[in-house]
Amino acid sequence: MKKLLKKSYLMTGIVLMLITAIVLTGCSSNSASGSSSTFYEGKSLELLVPFGTGGGTDTFARFVAPYLNENVKGSPTIQTVNVPGGGSINGSNEFVLSRKPNGQNALVTSGSTHMPYFLGDPAVKYELKDMKPVMGLPTGGVVYVNPETGIKGPKDLTKSNEKLTYAGISATGLDLVTLLAFEVLQMDVETILGYDGRGPSRVAFESGESNIDYQTTMAYLSNVKPLVKEGQANPLFSFGQLNEKGEVVRDPAFPDMPTLKEFYVKAYGEEPSGTAWEAYKAFLGSSFTVQKVIWLHKDAPKEAVEALSQGAKKAVEDPEFTKKGEEVLGGYKPYVGDQLDKVVKNMLNTDEEVTNWVKEFLEKEYDITRYQ
- Do the two domains 44-138+290-335 and 141-287+354-366 of this chain adopt the same fold? yes
List the CATH code of the domain at 44-138+290-335.
Answer: 3.40.190.150
Query: Residue range 292-320: average pLDDT?
Result: 97
Reported as a single tens digit per residue, the pLDDT across 90-99 is: 999 999 999 9
Q: What is the pLDDT of residue 158?
A: 78
Reported as a single tens digit per residue, the pLDDT across 21-61 is: 444 444 443 433 445 568 999 999 999 999 999 888 999 99
Q: Which of 82, 83, 96, 84 is nearest to 124 (CA)?
A: 96
Reported as a single tens digit per residue, the pLDDT across 323-340 is: 999 888 988 999 999 999
Q: Does domain 141-287+354-366 have CATH number 3.40.1390.10?
A: no
CB 346 within 8 A of CB 285: yes
Q: What is the pLDDT of residue 159?
A: 80
Distance CA 58, CA 54 (A): 6
CA 232 to chain centre: 31
Alpha-helical regions (H) of 43-144: 56-71, 89-98, 111-119
Determine what percent of the chain is predicted with pLDDT higher than 90: 74
How does residue 228 score in pLDDT terms, banded at 50, 70 and 90?
very high
Residue 356 amino acid letter = N
Q: What is the pLDDT of residue 12?
A: 45
Distance CA 251, CA 340 (A): 17
Q: Which of 297, 295, 339 is nearest to 316 (CA)?
A: 339
Q: Note if the pTM is more than 0.85.
A: no
Residue 111 has pLDDT above 80, yes or no: yes
Dihedral angle at the C-alpha atoms of 126, 288, 135, 76, nearest 10 degrees? Answer: 80
Distance CA 13, CA 25 (A): 18
CB 63 within 8 A of CB 55: no
Q: What is the pLDDT of residue 359?
A: 95
- Per the rule left: phi > 0, alpha: psi between -120 and 50, beta: everything else, 233 is beta
Residue 7 has pLDDT above 70, yes or no: no
* Domain ranges for the chain: 44-138+290-335, 141-287+354-366
Range with the lowest mean pLDDT among 26-35, 123-132, 252-261?
26-35
Q: What is the pLDDT of residue 330?
A: 86
Distance CA 288, CA 97 (A): 27
Contacts of 359 (CB under 8 A, 6+ apart): 119, 120, 371, 372
CB 190 within 8 A of CB 211: no
CB 3 within 8 A of CB 11: no
Q: Which of 372, 368, 371 is nearest to 171 (CA)?
A: 368
Reported as a single tens digit per residue, the pLDDT across 188-219 is: 999 999 888 888 999 999 999 999 999 999 88
Q: What is the mean pLDDT of the chain?
A: 89
Reported as a single tens digit per residue, the pLDDT across 59-89 is: 999 999 999 999 999 999 999 999 999 889 9
Distance CA 207, CA 216 (A): 19
User: Could you write out the DSSP letters of every residue in 35-49?
Assistant: STTTTTTT-EEEEEE
Distance CA 167, CA 156 (A): 22
First to last CA, the chain: 93
Determine what percent of the chain is predicted with pLDDT higher than 70: 90
CB 259 within 8 A of CB 250: yes
Distance CA 36, CA 23 (A): 22
